[in-house]
């Protein structure tokens, strides 16, 4: 798809680059309303990034490996993933402290996207780092123990839940399919079914759900974010000036400011020259509010 054909749908304003950070694989963006920060990571660049909601007051930290997501915890700390599990991240001194080992012996895998639901549980997935074998799993972390919730993925992506918390959405990126599950009060999944498939080009990546129950799905290689109603029907899209859009999060005082990450990964030198904003953190205004970022509840 050519950048000349891009336009912005009526569901949102045109995306603007907030931080031209040139991330190799930007991911995991979130809006921390408590501390008024926007957080995101560069998985392949081994970096954690943070800025103010308007893009100022920028700060970055080196990570000791591929860091795929970062989420706020209820105790005021930040929790992220590295290749062998979950870690506490201290933004004062930049240190990483082990929290829970996960797939420590699965050397071909790494973790990908993560999301905290309204009950304070962390949902996150692993994937085959070379993107060849279905060794990826979806996990649930309730602050004390970790349980595998689904498996058989080459690339897991985009956990998110409906506003009532009764539906979990999860992506099989290479199959271009978004699944829906029923979620009970204990976090157990059932009734796995196809919610939607991506048919307009690109691969489904990270996602977020607005207060109307519509699912917004970033597309890697698709130049856009798609919006689907609760029945899985596409009802809008937001076009970007670069191809690889990886994740979005709602934020701001009215939860209508959207932040989105992008990636330079997989683009040729010619494509990078034509897409100078690839790898940037973007922002735009949506016509509907999204759900607030939840905090991970850690148990002693």
Give the 3-state secondary structure of residue 160.
strand
Give the 3-state secondary structure of residue 97.
strand
CA distances from residue 56 to 18, 19, 53, 203, 249 in whole angstroms, order as listed: 9, 9, 7, 31, 18
The DSSP annotation for 35-83 comes to TTEEEEEETTTTEEEEE-TTS-S-EEEE-SS----EEEBTTS-EEEEET
Sign of CA dihedral 191, 222, 46, 283: negative
The DSSP annotation for 234-268 comes to EEEEEE-SSSBEEEEEEESTTS-EEEEEEB-TT--
Sign of CA dihedral 227, 250, 265, 55: positive
32 is catalytic: no
Q: What angle do CA 80, 82, 83 make, to 5 degrees?
A: 150
Q: How far apart are CA 198 and CA 293, in angstroms?
A: 26
List Cβ<8 Å contacts ≥24 apart for 83-88. Answer: 83/109, 83/110, 83/111, 86/122, 86/141
10 Å Cβ neighbour count for 293? 20
Q: Is 273 left (phi over 0), alpha (psi -120 to 50) or beta?
A: alpha
Q: How far apart are CA 185 and CA 202, in angstroms?
A: 34
Give the 3-state secondary structure of residue 274.
helix
Catalytic residue among 205, 229, 254, 287: 205
Q: Which positions are annotated as active-site residues?
A: 205
């Amino acid at each position: 798809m050519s950048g000349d054909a891009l336009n912005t749908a009526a569901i949102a304003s045109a995306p603007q680059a907030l931080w031209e950070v040139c991330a190799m694989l930007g991911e995991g963006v979130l809006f921390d309303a408590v501390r008024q920060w926007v957080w995101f990571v560069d998985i392949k660049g081994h970096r954690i990034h943070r800025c103010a909601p308007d893009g100022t007051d920028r700060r970055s930290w080196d990570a000791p490996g591929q860091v795929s997501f970062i989420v706020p915890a209820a105790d005021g700390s930040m929790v992220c993933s590295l290749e062998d599990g979950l870690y506490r991240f201290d933004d004062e001194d930049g240190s990483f402290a082990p929290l829970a080992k996960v797939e420590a012996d699965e050397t071909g895998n790494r973790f990908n996207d993560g999301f905290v639901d309204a009950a304070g549980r962390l949902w996150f997935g692993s994937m085959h780092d070379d993107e060849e074998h279905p060794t990826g799993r979806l996990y649930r972390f309730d602050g004390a123990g970790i349980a595998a919730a689904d498996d058989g993925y080459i690339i897991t992506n985009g956990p998110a839940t409906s506003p009532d918390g009764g539906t979990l959405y999860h992506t099989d990126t290479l199959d271009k399919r978004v699944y829906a599950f029923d979620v009970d009060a204990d976090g157990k999944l059932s009734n796995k079914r196809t919610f939607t498939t991506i048919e307009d080009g690109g691969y489904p990546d990270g996602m977020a759900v607005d207060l109307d129950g519509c699912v917004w799905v970033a597309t890697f290689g698709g130049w856009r974010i798609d919006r689907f109603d609760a029945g899985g029907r596409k009802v809008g899209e937001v076009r970007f000036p670069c191809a690889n859009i990886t994740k979005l999060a709602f934020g701001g005082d009215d939860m209508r400011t959207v932040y989105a990450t992008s990636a330079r990964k997989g683009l040729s030198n010619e494509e990078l020259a034509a897409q100078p904003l690839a790898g940037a953190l973007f922002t735009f205004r949506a016509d509907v509010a999204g759900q607030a970022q939840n905090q991970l509840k850690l148990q002693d």
